[in-house]
Amino acid sequence: MRNPPESADIQKNKIMNKKHITVPALLKKKEDGEKIVVLTAYDFPFAKLADEAGMDIILVGDTLGIVVQGQESTLPVTMDQMVYHTRMVARAAKQALVVADMPFMSYQSGMEDTLKNAGRLMKEGGAAAVKFEGGVGITDRVEMLSRYDMPVMAHIGLTPQSVHRMGGYKVQGRSAGQARQLIDDAKQLESAGAFSIVLEGMPNALAKTISETLRIPTIGIGAGPHCDGQVLVMHDLLGLFTRFHPKFVRRYADFTAIAKEAFSRYGSDVRTGKFPNEAEGYE
Ligand code: KIV
């Protein structure tokens, strides 16, 4: 079978032999008003596709607990699993900056654990930066990692590791008090040295205020159109995760239908003796 033609963007990236996106390049994108595109990936083949399609950042999110492992939340994801998935993604990413999530209890448990686990994601996993959830309560960790030149992406608003405190995956920052707190969190995370910040599940107007207040780029998910960049979970974008469909997810493909159709054609070909044929064997 012939390979499908490459898109103009993929060809352009190859011709330009673009180097890896860097942390300073992302800050410059915000200064220049250029949107930052982020996608999650958890393994080599899909990370390679994301990289070749020109993603700025590939996030090895702890959402892998939900969309890959089939768990109810991200809480059971371990450090060893994050290192394993990050390594596969980093091997595939020739241009995108790879950011790896610090899973639940890899940084909440103390400063030493934070340093050791962030170090593992960069040294063993090959990530260029780490991400963790939280506001003013974790600025000491952000400061420490920044001091050791380990770039940190922060994450505030609907923080999935706090699902039990929030009482579900609920939009945050709707009351004036909560909104003030989130603005303060964002400012303090920037002062502590975070190079960017994910704003998840908050009103569009609040995300706009935070984006206009900060020098570092904001990356939105369920936070409206005014952030400096956007992130989506790959399995949501491809229509591979169908357990629920949050309002903010746009499905760009229906991989579930495509895969089911291919699997069922394969099954039928084997059952009817159409596959394999003589030419698909050896003499
Ligand atoms: O784990 C993840 O994939 C994330 C994104 C949804 C931002 O944190």
Please say if 200 is a catalytic residue: yes
Tell me which residue has its CA closest to atom 8 in ligand 1. Answer: 61
CATH, domain range 8-252:
3.20.20.60
**Dist. CA 94 → ligand 1 center (Å):** 21
Strands (E), the chain: 36-40, 57-60, 97-101, 129-133, 152-157, 196-200, 218-221, 229-232
Residue 12 and residue 16: Cα distance in Å, rounded? 6
For 88-136, the pLDDT digits (tens) are 999 999 999 999 999 999 999 999 999 999 999 999 999 999 999 999 9
Give the rounded percent of residues in the chain with a pLDDT score beyond 70: 94
What rounded mean pLDDT belongs to the chain? 95
Provide the residue ranges of all domains of the chain, joining segments of one domain with +.
Answer: 8-252, 255-283
First vs last C-alpha separation in the chain: 21
| Ligand 1 pocket by Cβ (under 6 Å) | 40, 59, 61-63, 101, 155, 198, 200, 221, 231, 233
**pLDDT computed for residue 7 by the predictor:** 59
Which pLDDT band, with edges at 50, 70 and 90, does 198 fall under? Answer: very high
Task: Out of 200, 261, 280, 283, pick the active-site residue.
Answer: 200
Residue 66 and residue 77: Cα distance in Å, rounded? 9
**pLDDT computed for residue 19 by the predictor:** 85
Which pLDDT band, with edges at 50, 70 and 90, does 238 fall under? Answer: very high
The residue with tokens 């060893």 is: 80
Q: Is 283 helix (H, G, I), strand (E, B) or coil?
A: coil
**pLDDT computed for residue 1 by the predictor:** 45
Q: How far is CA 102 from the centre of its chain?
A: 12
Among residues 69, 42, 51, the alpha carbon closest in space to that of 234 is found at 42
